[in-house]
Amino acid sequence: MKINKNIIIENIKTIFYALVIAILIRSLLIQPFYIPSSSMEPTMLIGDRLFVTKYTYGYSKHSFPFSPAIFKGKFLSNKPKRGDVVVFKTTRDNRTDFIKRLIGLPGDNIQFINGDVYINKNQIPKSIISKSDVIYCGNQVQVNTFKEILPNGKMHKTAYFKDNSFKNTGVFIVPEKHYFFLGDNRDCSSDSRFLTGLGYVPEVNLVGKAQFIFFSSDFRIASIFAFWKWHKTIRFDRFFKKIN
């Protein structure tokens, strides 16, 4: 059978153009992410798939696949707001994606006192929602769930262990052009409290803002191939859930 070279060339062009368009959309507009850990429970669960807008905070080398060193700093930059749920590149390797809640802005003083968060010496108000919720931290853990209200009025849920293992710290002073992040699962999150780990996150490392969950599943219950158990493994109630 004779192979038509023109058809092959046209197919290669179509695939190439499709890849270019996909990379541009992923880099400049919107990108899907998967939640692999419990550090943001109860806001986000292991197995959530979400869309992140890349244009919200502007663009840097980290907006593109593999973080190519094509330019320095950010352009079309917009400042994030306190309380945003943000995807960023960890300072550990400038490659791995993390997702946390923005708590401290440049120049802020952050401190934990008796388990409560203080911003610029003012305690973040929190009120109890539940004393019997269960979250994951390696295993299932019973926690107290609170509603917290940040200084700009942004409200969100947080979970604290019953013994509240992370109670008191020194003062964290957020440097210029850096941000301070916390996980909503406060006693099971590697975040800006650990300066030898994540620490303060540079502005240039911000990738985008988490907007909404488009799919969610818990395949720890059963394999994806066990379609007769999808009513248990797929969390239909989380589809298209906005992230606050």
Catalytic residues: 39, 100
CA distances from 45 to 157, 182, 216 (A): 13, 16, 8
Which residues, listed in sequence order, are joined to residue 116 by a DSSP beta bridge? 113
Backbone angles phi, psi at 78, to 5 degrees: -125, 140
Q: Does residue 183 come out as left (phi exceeding 0), alpha (psi in the -120 to 50 range) or beta?
A: beta
Virtual CA dihedral for 127, 130, 132, 134, nearest 10 degrees? -90
Q: How far apart are CA 186 and CA 131, in angstroms?
A: 15
Backbone angles phi, psi at 19, to 5 degrees: -65, -40
